[in-house]
Each structure stands twice: as structure tokens, then as C-alpha cells.
Chains A and B, each alone.
Chain A
Amino acid sequence: MGKLNIDRGLVRAARVAAEEIARGVITRVSGKTTTSIERAVLRLLGVDGVDSQGVPLPNVVLEQLKQSGKLGQGAAYWLVNAMLAYELDVPELIEAASKNAINLGDAPAQEKGRSKVLMDRLTAHALDHIAQTRQARENYLCSLGEGSLPYLYVIVATGNIYADVIQAQAAVEQGADIIAVIRTTAQSLLDYVPYGPTTEGFGGTYATQANFRIMRQALDDAGAKAGRYIRLTNYCSGLCMPEIAVMGAWERLDMMLNDSMYGIIFRDINMQRTFLDQYFSRLLNGWAGIIINTGEDNYLTTADAVSAAHTVLASQFINEQFAYQSGMPDSLIGLGHAFEIDPKLEDGFLLELAQAQLVREIFPNAPLKYMPPTKYMTGNVFQGQVQDALFNVASIVTGQTIHLLGMPTEAIHTPFVMDRALSIANARYVFNTMQHLEAEISFVPGGKIQARAAQVLADAVKLLEYIAQIGLMEAINRGTFAAITRSPDGGKGLDGVVAKTEDYVNPFWERMSQGRATI
């Protein structure tokens, strides 16, 4: 029954409080939708491409509806209604709309029965497409198999999708199991998804559907050669979270960075917008069998890993409940945490072990994502290898699932090809030489590690109960996470939060929440 002898009653109390927190937020934002959710719906119904000015067509249509004040009924309603009214298919209708020959909101109302038939057909088509993509993943996993746990996760970030492909294929040959294409840093604040293959970006590469497809194909090729399925990761975050979820579901991404609070705290995106967007995007991720990666590691880049450890755990409980609200199973909830304690701290490694083991025991079926040291990486690449080696040890002896490899050149530049090779070799060495160490380890009853774990859990419960009392939005407002404060009506993207009318239509929302209570 676990190595830490934690108080199971406290774990239950934490979940009760976290559920109350998540439900409280859902209640606060119910009755609303967002421009990005509606654009995601348009994409699902087949709206894609850009107009003559390069503006994505989902944005063009959305603006039309928003300006005529008709978004409250849902973009799906207007699209289907106009298709019937003008007897056009989706591409024809959207082309006419993009040339302002037609305004979707002006079409005369069509008979409800006919609308429903067409809506159902388009919806089924989209969901079938996602189901087939999901099945294709299952087939690959069946025929090719996958790497052993913990999965080796590396990033590519050249800014050019074609250069990313070269780096990713090299990484697969070196032993990587998961490739994450880091997104160009400014993209989270764009209120549209760029279109087509891209070759310029800074600190990363634009997330576009074409780029997703290019990398997917490259990893399928590399995986076939290497004899194991290679998972692809991108960012389902920022102002276009739900649209990215659609693109990921279609292009067979396997993991998505998708946190319930990250955008609010670190990108100053409005919290109502974020909570709505994350709810809908998690519906999609769950439907597509995509593992989400939550972003608790980020708290520790600003807050202290020792004194703020309980905020990480509290946030994991909250992320878990939000994912449950969207119907995600444990197997898709990749809760994040990190190895970020100051290396100069005496017994710091014991505290790291306590935290990693604690999270493992509390979330036994979650594919935990363990993040490497970044904050105390100095530019001394040699010392960096040692720090990463200790991180690798902590990961293998506590049974982590998704292991994001630390790079010796962290804090200097985005990884070079040899940085990745060195890191993968480091991890493979540690994982192999300590393959079964986990089963041989027990911790001294009442010793430093057990005591630390008990303390972090107790503090997390206290924090969750406090948040449950005041509500999550107010807690964020008071700087509970990462010592950053955000107000409910502040931040970017609030103008994209729209009240739903009583006859609001979103067939995907209905189908994917499968009768559960929904927003």
C-alpha cells in the first residue's frame, strides 16, 4: 500500500474540495461560449482555409456573426441554416461569405427538421473522422508497439517545420519516444490559427494544421524505421485552444499541453475565456484519445519548489477534476510536475523523491509528466548533465510516465542536435542500470521522505479547502499560484466570451459530453 504511508483520508478530502472548486468554476461560466469555441465548431463542420487577405476563414465567418450580434445561437446553427437557405455546400457558402456576397446571419430561418438532419450528418462526419484517426493510432500501437516507460520526450524548436523534421527524425534514431514541436512564443496570444506550412518562428514553430500533418508523416516514417510508434505533441493552449484541439484530433497528435490555469497565470488570458476554452478542448482531446499534459511545472519557475510544492499538488487535483468534468479518463490525464529544487539545498534530492513518489501514489493511473531542471541550470553544460542525471534517477525510481528530457544547454539555447543525443544517452543509461530499482526501494517509516510527503499533502488539502471556500477565480485573483495575481474580468480575450441564447446550438458539445451535466 504505497511507500509513503500517506493519509488516504486526506487524499479523499483533497478530491472533494477540488471537485467543488471545478464545479464552482463551471457554474460561474455556464451559459456562455467563446469565439474560439465557435471557430472550433466551424472547423469541425468543414470550414478551413484563408481568404484573399490571408485571414483564416473560421475567423472571417465568426466576425460576420459576431458583428451582427448573432453568435449567441451558435455558429453551427447559422452555418447549417445558411447552407439550406442558399442550397450551397460548406466550401461554396464560405467562399461567398468571405467575399461578403452572403452574410450567414441574414439567411431566412429554415425548417427545424431539415436543419437537424443536415446538422446530424455534418456532425457525424466530423466525429467519424476523429474516431478513424483514433483507430489509426490504436492500429499503429498494435502493429509497431511503443517505447518502454518512462517515455523519452524531447522537443524540437527550430522555427522551420522542415528543419524540425530533420531534428525530430534524428531524435527518434537516438531513442526518443515523443516529439514535441515547441510553438513560436508569441502564438498563444494570437486570436487566430496561422495557415499552411511555416518556416519562420522564434523559440519554436507555428502550430498550423499543415505543420501538424508534415510532422505526423515524418514521425510515422521514422517510427516505422525504428520499429515503435512515435508520439507527437503540441500546444492546445492560448487564445485558440479549442481550434488547436480540432486540428490535433484530425492530424493524430497524441499529446497536447493543455492546462486549466496556465494561460490565465502566465499569459494573462482572461479566466472566463480560458475555463470555457479548456472545457471544450478537453471534450475534444478526450474524444480523440489525446493525452493532455498539464503545466504545474511552470509554477516552480517563478515560485520556490520547496515552499510552493503544495501548490503544485493542489493544482494537479484541480486539473484532474476539470478533466473529469470534460469526461476524460485517468489514462489521458498527464499531470505535470518538476524537478526544480535548488541543487545547493542539503537533502534537496530527498524532497524531490518525496514529491515524485507522492504524486505517483496519489494519481496511480495518470500518465504523469515529469519535467527536468530548468531554473537552476547555469550554462555550465557539464554540471547540467549531472543535474539531469539526478532527475533521471528520480524519474525511474518513482515510476514516472512521460519523461521530458533535460538538456545540458538549458538556459543557453533551444536544443542542438547533439544536446538531444547526449540527453537521451544519459537517460537510457540511468533507466537501464536502475531498471528494477523502484521495486527494491522502501522509505524509512517516519523518515525525512515520508514526513515531507505528509507535509506537502496536508498543506495541499488546506489550500484546496481555502480555494473551495473563496472560489478558484478569487484564489487566482489573490495570487495563490506562482505568486501571480489575475482578476476575473482582466486579461486578454474577454471580448471573446459570449452569452448563449436559449436556442444555442452546438452539436459537438452535446454529443461529446454524452448526457453528462455540461456548461
Chain B
Amino acid sequence: MTQDLNIIRPYGDTLNDGLIQLSFTLPLAKSAHTEEAAKQLVLKLGLVEPQIVYSEDIGANFTFFIAYAQTNLSVNVNELRVIPTTTKVLRKQEIEACIKAKLGRQVVVLGACIESDAHTVGIDAIMNLKGYNGHKGLEAYQSITAINLGAQISGEELVVKARECGADAILVSQVVTQKNIHIANLTRLAELLEAENVRERVILVVGGPRINHQLAQELGYDAGFGSGTYAEDVATFVVETLIKREELGNAGSSGKSGSSGNDSPQAE
């Protein structure tokens, strides 16, 4: 199969067939009309050869559709500009060694699920000792002081804690979101950190199923991680960025001289 990276289309069973699977609901009772409406909608999306393969009356005048269609559009992969978070993810031992050799102190990482979000499953997977899927969390790292504040932490509270513990990095999680509340929450936090003069001193990272690196950067974060992220992905980014910043002589502004070997949250 020879691929032309200038023209990439979805693949069903033949290169460039452009096949796409869709499912959606229309707020109409099931009828021939409703089915036609679904088909027209797929066509209006710019797709061709729409096939409504399944439709079901799901009550209260709603009809659910599963459809297949094709697209003639394509993506030129050569033209894409994507900023990867890190080039190579280090393993736990490598991260520990790297902190010892190049920073010589505890790295303080503060984690929280902010504002309305009460779902700690994401932040726990990264922070808690046990981690997720066999990947130990940051609490298991000897050279990292990991403080997990848990759920529904307000931006104001986070700022206070970040100052108190002298955080090197803040990890923010947004798991369950509705009507894009996560964007509002994240924007507000970034602005708050800026206004409180904390933003410059920390590495600000956000994670969650609706997050990617690009979105994070647009919102003023240093990095964003989506689903399938483990503690070492985040730790690698934090540690490498920290080393880069200290090498650039930014250490002064963070108030960290590399002398603190104390793992107490009150180290500063």
C-alpha cells in the first residue's frame, strides 16, 4: 500500500475510500420524513453516498441513527504543524536519575481537579501511589513530592496552596465536562495564576479526555495530556522543562536555588 501523505482520507477497506461512521439523534418522531432528514443532514456535512444503516424510535419523539458515508476531502499530513509534548518519554528510574543528577532537589508537584469537576479518576491515575494500569503514580517517585488536593478545588485555593508548598508544577484535571465548562474553568485558572504572579514560577499542565497539547497551549498552559496518559509522560515533561528553564537561568525567578533537599510540602 503506497500512501501519498499529501492526500490522507479515512480508510474502510480500500485506500482512499473515505468511509466514515456516524451516529446521532434527531428530535423528531421516527418516520420516512425523519429518515430523509437524517440523510440530508449527512449530505450537508459534505459527505457523499450516505447510507442510514439503522434507525430507532428511542421515545419522547427522538430518533437515533447510525449512518455510513464517504468523504472526498483529504488532509495533507506534510503541511501539519503539531507540537509534541515531549520527544521521548522517560521511564520512572530515568526520571528519578535525571532529577538527582540535574536538579539535585525534590520536585514539588501539585495536583487538583478544579472548580465544578468532582471526578478525581484522572488526577488520581497520575498522582496516587498506585497509578494506573501498572504505571506508578507520582507519589511513588522518591524525588517528587506529589500533593493531590483532590476534587472541586477553586482557583483561589490552588493559588494559595501553590505558594505554600512552592510548587514547581501544577497539574490540573478536567474529566467530566458539560457545555465546555472545562474551557471556562481552565481559562479562569490561567488568568488567576497570571494575576497572582504565580504563572511564571510554575509549569502549568492540564489533563483530561477532552484535552490535547494544542488546546492546552491555546489556553496558556505549558502542556496538555489526553486519554492514555501515565505519570511518566507528565513527569518527563515537567522534569525536562524544569531542567531547560534552570539551564536558561530562569531559576532565580522561581526562588529555587537547587539547595532544598527537603521533601516536606513546607520546604519553602
- The residues of A with any CB-CB pair to B shorter than 8 Å are 157-159, 166, 169-174, 184-186, 189, 202-203, 266-268, 301-302, 304, 342, 344, 374-375, 378-379, 411-414, 416-418, 421-422, 483-484
Known contacts A185-B152, A203-B176, A412-B209; A301 and B121 CB within 8 A of each other = yes
Determine if B116 and A170 form an interchain contact, defined as CB atoms under 8 angstroms apart.
no
Determine if A203 and B59 form an interchain contact, defined as CB atoms under 8 angstroms apart.
no
Determine if B227 and A374 form an interchain contact, defined as CB atoms under 8 angstroms apart.
no
Partner of A202, one of B24, B59, B124, B178: B178
Q: How far is the CA of A483 from the CA of B120 in the complex (A)?
A: 13
Q: How far is the CA of A374 from the CA of B120 in the complex (A)?
A: 12
Residues of chain B within 8 A (CB-CB) of A185 are 116-118, 152
Partner of B121, one of A266, A375, A422, A484: A375
Q: List 6 A-B contacts (CB under 8 A).
A: A169-B59, A173-B60, A375-B121, A378-B227, A413-B177, A418-B58
Determine if A159 and B58 form an interchain contact, defined as CB atoms under 8 angstroms apart.
no
Q: How far is the CA of A159 from the CA of B179 in the complex (A)?
A: 10
**Nearest B-chain residue to A381, judged by Cβ:** B23
The interface centre, meaning the residue of A169, A173, A203, A484 with most chain B CB atoms within 10 A of its CB, is: A203
Shortest C-beta distance, A345 to chain B (Å), equals 11
Q: How far is the CA of A378 from the CA of B226 in the complex (A)?
A: 11
10 closest A-B pairs by beta carbon, nearest first, are A173-B59, A170-B60, A421-B58, A202-B116, A185-B118, A170-B59, A418-B64, A418-B25, A185-B116, A169-B60
Partner of B58, one of A174, A186, A267, A302: A174
Beyond the given pairs A173-B59, A267-B152, A412-B209, 9 more chain A to chain B contacts, judged by CB atoms under 8 angstroms and listed by A's residue number, are A169-B59, A171-B59, A185-B152, A202-B178, A266-B118, A413-B177, A417-B64, A418-B64, A421-B62
Determine if A266 and B227 form an interchain contact, defined as CB atoms under 8 angstroms apart.
no
Shortest C-beta distance, A494 to chain B (Å), equals 18
Known contacts A202-B116, A379-B209; A413 and B178 CB within 8 A of each other = yes
**Nearest A-chain residue to B208, judged by Cβ:** A411
The interface centre, meaning the residue of A170, A189, A422 with most chain B CB atoms within 10 A of its CB, is: A170
**Nearest A-chain residue to B154, judged by Cβ:** A186
**Nearest A-chain residue to B21, judged by Cβ:** A382
Shortest C-beta distance, A372 to chain B (Å), equals 14
Residues of chain A within 8 A (CB-CB) of B115 are 186
Residues of chain B within 8 A (CB-CB) of A484 are 150
Q: How far is the CA of A484 from the CA of B175 in the complex (A)?
A: 20
Determine if A417 and B58 form an interchain contact, defined as CB atoms under 8 angstroms apart.
yes
Determine if B59 and A483 form an interchain contact, defined as CB atoms under 8 angstroms apart.
no
Partner of A203, one of B121, B178, B227: B178
Determine if A266 and B175 form an interchain contact, defined as CB atoms under 8 angstroms apart.
no
- The residues of B with any CB-CB pair to A shorter than 8 Å are 23-25, 56, 58-60, 62, 64, 115-118, 120-121, 124, 128-130, 133, 150-152, 175-179, 181, 209-210, 227-228
Shortest C-beta distance, A205 to chain B (Å), equals 11
**Nearest B-chain residue to A171, judged by Cβ:** B59
Q: How far is the CA of A235 from the CA of B14 in the complex (A)?
A: 52
Known contacts A302-B128, A421-B59; A374 and B121 CB within 8 A of each other = yes
Shortest C-beta distance, B115 to chain A (Å), equals 8
Q: How far is the CA of A457 from the CA of B228 in the complex (A)?
A: 34
**Nearest B-chain residue to A344, judged by Cβ:** B133
The interface centre, meaning the residue of A266, A302, A374, A379 with most chain B CB atoms within 10 A of its CB, is: A302
Q: How far is the CA of A174 from the CA of B133 in the complex (A)?
A: 35
Determine if B209 and A203 form an interchain contact, defined as CB atoms under 8 angstroms apart.
no
Determine if B128 and A411 form an interchain contact, defined as CB atoms under 8 angstroms apart.
no
**Nearest A-chain residue to B25, judged by Cβ:** A418
Q: How far is the CA of A416 from the CA of B23 in the complex (A)?
A: 12
Shortest C-beta distance, A329 to chain B (Å), equals 31
Residues of chain A within 8 A (CB-CB) of B59 are 169-174, 421
Known contacts A159-B178, A170-B60; A411 and B209 CB within 8 A of each other = yes
Shortest C-beta distance, A375 to chain B (Å), equals 6
Shortest C-beta distance, A246 to chain B (Å), equals 24
**Nearest B-chain residue to A167, judged by Cβ:** B60
Q: How far is the CA of A184 from the CA of B116 in the complex (A)?
A: 8
Residues of chain B within 8 A (CB-CB) of A170 are 58-60, 62
**Nearest A-chain residue to B124, judged by Cβ:** A302
Residues of chain A within 8 A (CB-CB) of B124 are 301-302
Determine if B181 and A416 form an interchain contact, defined as CB atoms under 8 angstroms apart.
no
Known contacts A202-B181, A418-B64, A483-B128; A413 and B176 CB within 8 A of each other = yes
**Nearest B-chain residue to A165, judged by Cβ:** B60
Determine if B64 and A302 form an interchain contact, defined as CB atoms under 8 angstroms apart.
no
Determine if B116 and A186 form an interchain contact, defined as CB atoms under 8 angstroms apart.
yes
Known contacts A186-B116, A417-B62; A342 and B175 CB within 8 A of each other = no
Residues of chain A within 8 A (CB-CB) of B24 are 418
Known contacts A185-B118, A203-B117; A411 and B175 CB within 8 A of each other = yes
**Nearest B-chain residue to A422, judged by Cβ:** B64
**Nearest B-chain residue to A202, judged by Cβ:** B116
Shortest C-beta distance, A467 to chain B (Å), equals 22
Shortest C-beta distance, B87 to chain A (Å), equals 25
Known contacts A170-B58, A414-B176; A203 and B116 CB within 8 A of each other = yes
